[in-house]
Homo-oligomer: A and B are copies of this chain.
Amino acid sequence: MKSKEQRLDTICEILQTTVVGNQEELLKQLNDRGFSVTQATLSRDIKQLKIVKIPDTEGNYVYKLPDHIIAAQQKSDPIKLSNVEFSGNLAVVRTKPGYAMGIASDIDNAETREILATIAGDDTILVIPREGISREELITALMQFI
């Protein structure tokens, strides 16, 4: 029996390489890879990963990863935690030149609870937190993009 985290990773992998139309199919794929769980657990995994079931172009349903997970897997690290600073409730993140727009877009698309919006220049992102979010929470939220 492998860890939950491994299972979640495997789910992401499966969804990127296979067309899966329902949870039972996904369950089979997981079994083939040595994970034995029930549909209930899978449903919870799917909820946690924010996976969606999309009606595809012709008549079928397909499970898909949310954009921010795909983005996270592709990008290495054009920003560093040391490059986050605060002014009031706002955070300013420095990136490699030219990367700010793209990363800001990733952050926006993730639609996290903590972040209301971002504005990006060329190498700087202004991160506007939602009300009541502490610096610590904001840093934690930003972590996933770093």
Closest B residue to A110 by CB, please name it: B57
In angstroms, how far is the closest chain B Cβ from the Cβ of A56?
8
Q: Pick the contact of A57: B58, B111, B120 (CB < 8 A).
A: B111
- Given known A-B contacts A118-B124, A124-B119, A47 and B59 have beta carbons under 8 A apart: yes
Q: Pick the contact of A131: B51, B54, B87, B121 (CB < 8 A).
A: B87
Interface range on chain A (Cβ under 8 Å from partner): 35 or more
Whether B119 lies near A121 (C-beta < 8 A) is yes
Q: Cβ of A92: which chain B residues have Cβ within 8 Å of it? A: 116-117, 128
Closest B residue to A117 by CB, please name it: B92
Nearest first, the 9 A-B pairs at minimum CB distance are A119-B121, A57-B113, A47-B55, A52-B52, A92-B117, A50-B55, A52-B54, A87-B116, A87-B128
